Amino acid sequence: MKKNIRDIDIAGKKVIVRCDFNVPMKDGAITDDIRIRAALPTIEYLLEEGCALILMSHMGRPKGEPKMEYTLKPVADRLTELLARKVRFISSPTVVDDEVRKAAEDLKGGEVMLLENVRFVKGETDNDAGFAKALASLAEVFVNDAFGTAHRAHSSTAGIADYLPAVSGFLIEKEIRFLGDAMESPERPFVAIMGGAKVGDKIPVIENLMNKVDSLIIGGGMAYTFYKAMGYETGTSILDRDSVEIAAGIMKKAEETGVNLVLPLDCVCTEEFSNDSPYEVYDRDKIPADKMGMDIGPKTAELFESVLRDAKTVVWNGPMGVFEMENFAKGTYTIAKILAELDAVTVIGGGDSAAAVEQAGFADRMTHISTGGGASLEYLEGKVLPGIACLEEK
């Protein structure tokens, strides 16, 4: 296990915290501050411990240049409101300069400052040691609480840990706990649900999960690539031609290893990729040549429910259909409801899957919804995440 802020003597220290303040903006205003609010437990804990806090984050893709449309000033203002204490902000094109160094030096316990967007500096994404050192020089301890960028080896997410004691904040701790436990020591039966658009995008995830799960459910657009491998007509459904053989290989491996691979039985089809296109349910071996599958059908939902009923751990990545269109969201919502009612650890990974569960209204009934799209996928692939690997072991 990795150390977190409770595991070290942090009281009264000067602490630099990598947060994920990559919030959506419109016309200079924050449109959704959930990521800022999510960071508060870690920040408030450290303030209660009397720490002096230097916060840092990236926002958008300024590509190594001080582009002011990506300034973190609005974040500092929002934080000032949420914390009900002044968050000092110095906008420096180099992020760390003499004024910033002086401010960090003068910062007292219980005070907070926010650095400018770390991606204003080109060295950040190159994991430049000079920039990492400059950031580290401001504080005594490094806390990483930005899971969304933990799969990137950047100066502010990993490099900085070469120069400071490094521990996780509460957000990263939670991600490690739920994703990590599900992957390393799941209570069984362990069922994974994979969906989304393409098999190709998720091959490493499927392959890693195959070694761990009791059942693997395949839904969404990736099912049609499996159908093709089974010799079925898939009409105009989304098809990942390059992955047909891989799908065949996955089916073969499941047979050899005894993993219960569960494929949909029926699907909701239309002529056009549109919510207004009339739809009908077809069995998987009867998809008309001029139609496309947009969602799982009712027989499939029943089959999936029968597999999920006894599950003790469920990891879900990828929607069951084109959930963005109301007429084809039903399969995804049904699965979300089943998970919400299960007496099991339920972990959702992937940006669209998280959005779908949220949209279905079941977000608060899942054990854990991972906040990092790319990072959670890499975790499910079994990869080592640099922003986590750099933290101290307990």
Residues that bind ligand ADP (CB under 6 A): 195-197, 201, 220-221, 238, 293-294, 317-319, 321-322, 324, 350-353, 373
Of all residues in the shown chain, the one whose CB is closest to Mg ion is: 352
| Rounded distance between C-alpha atoms, residue 77 and residue 74, angstroms | 5
Among positive and negative, which fits the CA dihedral 166, 129, 180, 146? Answer: positive
Task: Report, in Å, the least distance between residue 44 CB and ligand ADP.
Answer: 30
Task: Report, in Å, the least distance between residue 324 CB and ligand ADP.
Answer: 5
Quote the Cα angle for 230-197-176, to 5°.
Answer: 110
- If contact means CB under 5 to 8 A according to the sort of partner, which of Mg ion, ligand ADP, none does residue 305 touch? none
Decide: helix, strand or coil at residue 394. coil
Per the annotation, the verdict on 374 as an active-site residue is yes
In the 8-state DSSP scheme, what is residue 328?
A: G
Q: What is the residue-wise DSSP string for 298-344?
A: HHHHHHHHHHHTT-SEEEEES-SS-TTSGGG-HHHHHHHHHHHH-SS
> Smaller CB distance to Mg ion: residue 62 or 349?
349
The dihedrals phi and psi of 248, each to the nearest 5 degrees, come to: -60, -40
- If contact means CB under 5 to 8 A according to the sort of partner, which of ligand ADP, Mg ion, none does residue 36 touch? none
> Smaller CB distance to ligand ADP: residue 43 or 209?
209
Residue for token digits 């690539």?
Answer: 225
> Smaller CB distance to Mg ion: residue 186 or 195?
195
Residue for token digits 């089943």?
Answer: 338
Task: Report, in Å, the least distance between residue 282 CB and ligand ADP.
Answer: 13
Residues in the chain: 394
Task: Report, in Å, the least distance between residue 368 CB and ligand ADP.
Answer: 14
Per 3-state DSSP, what percentage of the chain is helix, strand, and coil (rounded to 5)?
40, 20, 40
From the list 110, 200, 374, 382, the catalytic residue is: 374
Q: Does 352 bind Mg ion (CB under 5 A)?
A: yes
Per the annotation, the verdict on 85 as an active-site residue is no
Task: Report, in Å, the least distance between residue 305 CB and ligand ADP.
Answer: 19
- Let me know: does 46 contact 10? Beta carbons within 8 Å: yes
> Smaller CB distance to Mg ion: residue 111 or 352?
352
| Rounded distance between C-alpha atoms, residue 74 and residue 87, angstroms | 11
| Rounded distance between C-alpha atoms, residue 206 and residue 32, angstroms | 32
> Smaller CB distance to Mg ion: residue 144 or 243?
243
> Smaller CB distance to ligand ADP: residue 221 or 387?
221
Per the annotation, the verdict on 198 as an active-site residue is yes
Strand partners, 143: 17, 167
- If contact means CB under 5 to 8 A according to the sort of partner, which of ligand ADP, Mg ion, none does residue 140 touch? none
Residue type, 270: T
Among positive and negative, which fits the CA dihedral 97, 99, 103, 105? Answer: positive
The dihedrals phi and psi of 67, each to the nearest 5 degrees, come to: -85, 115
- If contact means CB under 5 to 8 A according to the sort of partner, which of ligand ADP, Mg ion, none does residue 264 touch? none
| Rounded distance between C-alpha atoms, residue 70 and residue 62, angstroms | 7
- If contact means CB under 5 to 8 A according to the sort of partner, which of Mg ion, ligand ADP, none does residue 293 touch? ligand ADP
User: What is the side-by-side order of every strand in the sheet holding 292-296?
Assistant: 279-283, 266-270, 292-296
Residue 255 CB neighbour total at 10 angstroms: 10
- If contact means CB under 5 to 8 A according to the sort of partner, which of ligand ADP, Mg ion, none does residue 159 touch? none
Task: Report, in Å, the least distance between residue 82 CB and ligand ADP.
Answer: 28
Task: Report, in Å, the least distance between residue 336 CB and ligand ADP.
Answer: 12
| Rounded distance between C-alpha atoms, residue 219 and residue 206, angstroms | 12
Contact region for Mg ion (CB under 5 A) — 87-95, 258-266, 285-293, 344-352? 344-352
From the list 2, 18, 35, 152, the catalytic residue is: 35
> Smaller CB distance to Mg ion: residue 342 or 356?
356
Residue type, 375: A
Q: Which of 351, 355, 381, 392 binds Mg ion (CB under 5 A)?
A: 351
From the list 351, 365, 382, 383, the catalytic residue is: 351
> Smaller CB distance to ligand ADP: residue 41 or 200?
200
Contact region for Mg ion (CB under 5 A) — 105-113, 128-136, 330-338, 349-357? 349-357
From the list 198, 212, 228, 284, the catalytic residue is: 198
Task: Report, in Å, the least distance between residue 350 CB and Mg ion.
Answer: 6
- Let me know: does 155 contact 127? Beta carbons within 8 Å: yes
- Let me know: does 311 contact 277? Beta carbons within 8 Å: no
Q: Footprint of Mg ion on this chain (CB under 5 A)?
A: 351-352
* Residues designated catalytic: 35, 198, 351, 374
